Amino acid sequence: MDYVWAVLYLLLAFAFQGLNVFSLPGNWLVVGLSSLWAVLRPEHGISWAFVGVLAALALAGEAVEWIAQSWGARRYGASGRGNFGGIIGALAGAIVGAPFLLGLGALLGALLGAYAGCFVFEISQGRPAMEANRASMGAFFGKSLGMTVKLALGLTMFALSIPRVWP
């Protein structure tokens, strides 16, 4: 029965990583799943200290994703409002793109949404299209970097969990 629980944990933890593509809190669900494991099966590998390590990795992933998009947009000249538009656009784009390409449309939607959101907010402030385009490209590249790091940290969380739960 230990193998069944371990396989179930690992399947859920891996599936949760797919939520990161949708800009959803997949890493935090792994932290929650690990907390549940620590409560229900404390003798089987996952300690509260390990849950703390996973929470720190999840927090780092969220911080890097947000900081990278903000940095990219500002580095290329986005205003505070344009940066905010990029964040809102990324979330909206992920939701709109989710039904396409077997769910992978969310990734493209988040990236294009970051670009479009920043562009719309910059244009609405009266900035020339060339400047708005440059700022929006920064939001796009920053979002792609942030999503990559967040997913990599999530997969690290998954990999660290394997020897802890496997009997």
Q: Walk along the chain (167 residues) and give the pLDDT tens digit of each residue.
A: 789 988 999 999 999 998 887 777 889 999 999 999 999 887 878 889 999 999 999 999 989 988 998 888 888 888 888 888 888 898 899 889 888 887 778 888 888 998 999 999 999 888 888 988 888 888 888 888 988 999 999 999 999 999 999 88
Count of domains forming the chain: 1
Buried b (16+ CB within 10 A) or exposed e, 29-62: bbbbbbeebbeeeeebbbeeebbeebbebbeebb
Residue range(s) defining the domain that contains residue 131: 2-165
Q: Which residues, other chains included, contact 90 with Cβ-Cβ below 8 Å and sequence gap of 6+? A: 23, 69, 110, 111, 113, 114, 117, 139, 143
Q: Which residues, other chains included, contact 149 with Cβ-Cβ below 8 Å and sequence gap of 6+? A: 61, 64, 65, 68
- The pTM of the full predicted model, rounded to 2 decimals, is 0.82
